[in-house]
Amino acid sequence: MGNECAVAVVTGGGRGIGRGIALELAGLGATVVVNYRSDERAADETCRQAIQRGAAAAVAIRADVADLDEGRRLVAESLAVAGRIDLWVNNAGVAPETRLDLLETTQASWDRVLAINLRGPFFLTQTVARTMIEQQAAGIAKAPQIIFITSVSSRYASVNRGEYCVSKAGLSMVAQLFAARLAGQGIRVHEVRPGLIETDMTRPARAAYEHRIREGLVPLARWGTPEDVGRAVAAIASNSLVYSTGSVIDVDGGLGLRIL
């Protein structure tokens, strides 16, 4: 990852896209901290696979990123077990428990989705950024990076999950804000924007999207995988983009192409 025994923290790293990211970072020889909220078994499995893939070490830490106190504890425990943080990946996120028409969206669903997908990552990144600045001042780490995993839903409207779209659109702006604020400190911030990725979250809509993919919705004509997203994160982590910050990397199979 550009420096020996670099430390990467992946929120929501126990399964899905988070696991794909953690394993690709493990392949770079990183020490990987796998954050999870409830499924300890899945997080432990990610750690096991990470070691097999070449991670210097892998440890699971439970914390709910929507809880600001738990988020601060996650940062503190990551430092306690790994000594520093070179890369922070804000990946944890949820979809609405029930897809509802925009006119039927409930306050409870809105509050849940935005707490996990937007409010939590904002304040968590605030804590992480302060920590990275302190690390640099102490000579513990150089040129740390922060990555936000958003979604094509940050720019495509889905009227049966409006709260999710709003949370991801907001998170895209959060990435821009932190990129602008932290550039002077030499901390680079990137946004990775996945498209249709085959995970537990997208399983309920799989049949509908299968048809649309066959009809040409995705130019590369397939679902994305967690590994596809992980490879994009690994490219950033390997310090291949040293003169870039605030960049948006689409991992969507060409979904956003304008084609006549």
Q: Which residues are catalytic?
A: 164
Give the dihedral sign, CA 192/238/42/124: negative
Main-chain dihedrals φ then ψ at residue 108, nearest 5 degrees: -65, -45
Beta-sheet pairing, 87-90 with 247-251: unpaired
Q: Comparing C-alpha atoms, which of 84, 75, 157 is closest to residue 124?
A: 75
Q: Comparing C-alpha atoms, which of 19, 9, 117, 131 is closest to residue 59?
A: 9
Q: Comparing C-alpha atoms, which of 150, 155, 148 is closest to residue 178?
A: 148
Question: What is the Rg, in whole angstroms, of the alpha carbon atoms belonging to the chain?
Answer: 18
Task: For residues 190 and 115, give the distance between their C-alpha atoms in angstroms, rounded to a whole number.
Answer: 21
Beta-sheet pairing, 87-90 with 145-149: parallel
Residues whose CB falls within 8 Å of the CB of residue 223, separated by 6 or more in sequence, listed in order: 196, 197, 198, 209, 213
Q: Comparing C-alpha atoms, which of 229, 227, 226, 202 is closest to residue 213?
A: 202
- Total count of residues recorded for the chain: 260
The SS3 call for residue 4 is coil
